[in-house]
Structure 1
Amino acid sequence: MSPEREGAARRSPVRDRDVVTADAIVAAAGEVFARHGYEGGTAERIADRAGVSLGTVYEQFPDKDAILVALVERHLDDASAALTPLLTDMVTQAPPIEDGVCRMLRALVALHRTHPALHRVLFEEAPRPEALRRRLERTVEAAVEAVHGYLVARPEVRVPDHAVAAQLVVQVAESVTHGLVLHPQDGADPEAYVRETERMLVRYLTGR
């Protein structure tokens, strides 16, 4: 074995342990932030929950913001894994607009319901470092691009500007589902909200 490969072999277990440790810290941060909020989610609490020393936390991440970025990236990766097949099908199969809007809204509701307390902290309480802001922008842009392709493929869509319509659809869908799950009104029927949002978007897109 060459010296380079011997060195790589020696370093590999260390790198593997680092990855496992970093993953454990990020997972622990999600639980701590959901319970205590971002301000209350101290590095000490994260270390305790992860079962590592405070020094180990700072070996893996320079500060709490870096943990936040890693956690949001994981959250967005999970969201992309759930939504990308749906958006791809919308573009390639181009189902009727009523079906496409319904599927998109219900997928977003399901995502928001997965970890509502953590979602609230990540997107309402926590700061947004530049790296996080850029990642969020890329995620939204990808969704808008997919919805735009879908709208163009549907002959019943009657809006004058498909690009603007795609942005509005994504913004409305995200805003409504976010508020519905994270800030429900007393006595409100979530299903009724989803149905009315579907009707509103379909009427806007088709004029009927």
Structure 2
Amino acid sequence: MYQYFPNKDSILLTLALAHLDEGTAVVRAGLTRVADGPVRLTEWLPVVVEGFTRLHADEPRLHRVLFEESPRPPELLDRFRLAEQEAVTAVAGLLRRDPDLDLPDPERTARIVVAVVESLVHRLVGQGGGEAEELTGEITTVVTGYLHAAARRRPVTDPPTLPHHRGPTAYNG
């Protein structure tokens, strides 16, 4: 094998890039199944979460070696960022098309959604967190709750009024 790869790290990099490309393709394929025009959260979020979950559940040990135990050269980190930005752009577009969600900043919300899904999938799938189907449902529930709360939240320019507290504090004795 070393006639094709100069060392073990180059083999791991090739495998990690292939895995990342596969993951991007899975999520992209799931999102292309979502219809054009208005689209509700219940139509696209489970597709995205299920794609991420299935990908990581198929080869959990390989995934752990590739992304937790091997070096992360700049080329791999650049591809991660590119794949993440593609996912954020796609999710932001879906958030804007959802007639039930009126979000103050769909781009920021999309970054949070992608980070939460990615983090929970990486943390739970293949590490004794439960079956992939159950985890898909749990992660979808978490993100759905966040999105509904974010849609109800007032813009940052109009912060909520906090009740005035009278009494001793650590600052005024």
For 1:11-26, what aligned pairs fall within 5 Å after superposition? none
TM-score normalised by structure 1 residue count: 0.64
Q: Which runs of 4+ in 1 moved over 6 A?
A: none
Larger proportion of helix: 1
Counterpart position of 2:72: 128
Which residue identity does 1:111 align to in structure 2?
L
List gaps (5 residues or longer) in structure 1.
1-46, 48-56
Q: Does residue 166 in structure 1 map to residue 110 in structure 2?
A: yes
Q: In structure 1, which of residues 110, 113, 134 is the aligned counterpart of residue 54 of structure 2?
A: 110
Q: Per-residue CA shift, 1:48-89, capped at 9, x if unaligned?
A: xxxxxxxxx1x4223322222211111122222222121233
Matched, 1:199 2:141: yes
Instruction: Classify 1:141/1:110 alpha carbon distance in 2 versus 1 (closer, same or farther; 3 Å).
Output: same
Question: Which residue of 2 is the match for residue 74 of structure 1?
Answer: 18
- State the TM-score, normalizing by the size of structure 2: 0.76
In the alignment of these two chains, the number of paired residues is: 150
The whole-number CA distance in structure 1 between the counterparts of 2:37 and 2:15 is: 33
User: Percent identity, aligned pairs only?
Assistant: 35
Question: For residue 66 of structure 1, what is the amino acid of its counterpart?
Answer: S
* Alpha-carbon distance between aligned partners in 1 of 2:133 and 2:14, rounded to the nearest angstrom: 33
1:91·1:149 contact (CA, 8 Å) conserved in 2? no
2:32, 2:81 → 1: CA distance? 19
Matching of residue 89 in structure 1 with residue 72 in structure 2: no
In the alignment, is the contact (CA less than 8 A) between 1:65 and 1:129 conserved in 2?
Answer: no
1:142 aligns with one of 79, 82, 86: 86
The CA distance in 1 between the partners of 2:134 and 2:10, in whole Å, is 39
The answer to whether the 8 Å contact 1:94/1:154 transfers is: yes
- Root-mean-square deviation (CA, aligned residues, Å) is 2.2
| Greater C-alpha radius of gyration | 1
* Partner in structure 1 of residue 42 of structure 2: 98
Change (3 A) 1:78 1:192: closer
Counterpart-to-counterpart distance in 1, 2:133 and 2:16: 28
